[in-house]
Structure 1
Amino acid sequence: MAICGIDEAGRGPWAGPVVAAAVILPAKKRPKGLADSKQLTGEAREELAQAIRACAAVGVGMASPDEIDRINILQATFLAMRRAFDALPERPVAALIDGNAAPDLPCAIEMIIDGDAYVASISAASIIAKVERDRMMVDFCAQYPGYSFAKHKGYGTPEHQKALAELGPCAIHRRSFKPVRLASGLAA
């Protein structure tokens, strides 16, 4: 009876998708060093993501900036989580989800606040989601020069704020987020 862990990356940035991962870890021979993705270096995340994919069932889902703008970031996060769950190669009987809110899924659900810090399958999902999203943002950096997406991954840094002020929003900016609306000249 498989149980998956689900987590997301990218709820707070001003640009790019929100990405979720669902991971079913094997009972034995799990990668060593699983932790909340935010506590790991980029190099450690990449190595662990490769190790996770080598031994676990993994599903990844995302919601685009347009979907975020249309349905709001929380609902877009739930959409990405459902897509990640649906992308798993096998159907789990339960899902352990990081946080205090969860999408509707066709299985038992347990929400665990800070689960990415101490539940192995959620830690694994946080690592996969972060690595996938970071790779997307590096690709977007080449598509949309001037914003330095490879550096800040779309988060609200002073450098990103400056680029928004000088260049205005690009196609992957979340126009429903206040700093982007203000840079667009739209009412707050």
Structure 2
Amino acid sequence: MSETVKIGGKIIAGVDEAGRGPLAGPVIAAAVILDEARPIEGLADSKKLSASRREVLAVAITDRARCWALGRAEVEEIDKINILQASLLAMKRAVAGLRVIPDLVVVDGNQAPILDCHVQTIIRGDATVAEISAASILAKVARDREMTEMDKIFPGYGFSQHKGYPTELHKQAIRRIGVSAIHRLSYAPVKALLGL
């Protein structure tokens, strides 16, 4: 169960991203400042929750959080600056979108964007810190919804099923159809499948 970060009256924003591993689509980050007066039960690492549970929690987060914002980096940016830098850029954009300026930003993992406030990285923060769990859920839900929409625009790849991750179904589709406009050409598996 995730615990809310408490640091004497300071405003804490949790940040996490979704979409570092896929072969296609953007990387999307979320930043969330929770409202202690409106707690949300069941926050956890988004990867440990079912898709339907994530959807329910995403509605609760957007309804009850003090504020939240999404940030993203597009495929072209991922190919240009690499996925780590693109993830940090998406996180920075998410924090910049908050209408309340946080005193501290807590980020899942061991890499954090450079921000104009204090930043702390927390390994497995998406499973242990409520603010990061909430961000993890919003980022995952937003990206999954987008990849489901991309399935309509780029049929045949199965984006609504695997969300761009390198499943065998996805790799077979790339071999059969080639790459789409949302594939990450800098990724080694995509290069290998194209014979580059």
TM beyond 0.5: yes
- Match for residue 20 of structure 1? 29
Residues 97-131 of structure 1: CA deviation (Å, up to 9, x unaligned): 00001010110011000000010000000000000
Residues 72-113 of structure 1: CA deviation (Å, up to 9, x unaligned): 000000000001001111111110000001010110011000
Please, what TM-score do these two structures have when normalized by structure 1? 0.97
Counting matched residue pairs gives 186
**1:147 pairs with 2:188:** no
Greater CA deviation, 68-77 or 24-33? 24-33
- Match for residue 35 of structure 1? 44
Please, what TM-score do these two structures have when normalized by structure 2? 0.93
Q: CA deviation at 1:31?
A: 1.0
Q: CA deviation at 1:183?
A: 2.5
- Match for residue 175 of structure 2? 165
In structure 2, runs of 5+ residues without a counterpart are 1-9
What letter is aligned with 2:88?
F
**1:109 pairs with 2:109:** no
**Contact 1:169–1:183 under 8 Å retained in 2:** no
What letter is aligned with 2:60?
A
Displaced runs of 4 or more, over 4 A = none
For 1:148 and 1:40, the matched residues in 2 are separated by 22
What letter is aligned with 1:26?
D
- Match for residue 14 of structure 2? 5
Identity %: 53
**1:65 pairs with 2:81:** no
**1:87 pairs with 2:104:** no
**1:55 pairs with 2:64:** yes
Q: Considering only aligned residues, what root-mean-square deviation do their CA atoms show, in Å?
A: 0.7
SS in 2 for 1:110: strand
Q: CA deviation at 1:30?
A: 1.4
Residues 9-43 of structure 1: CA deviation (Å, up to 9, x unaligned): 01000000100000000123211000000000000
Residues 115-154 of structure 1: CA deviation (Å, up to 9, x unaligned): 0001000000000000000001001000000000000000
In structure 1, runs of 5+ residues without a counterpart are none
Q: CA deviation at 1:67?
A: 0.4
Q: CA deviation at 1:2?
A: 1.4
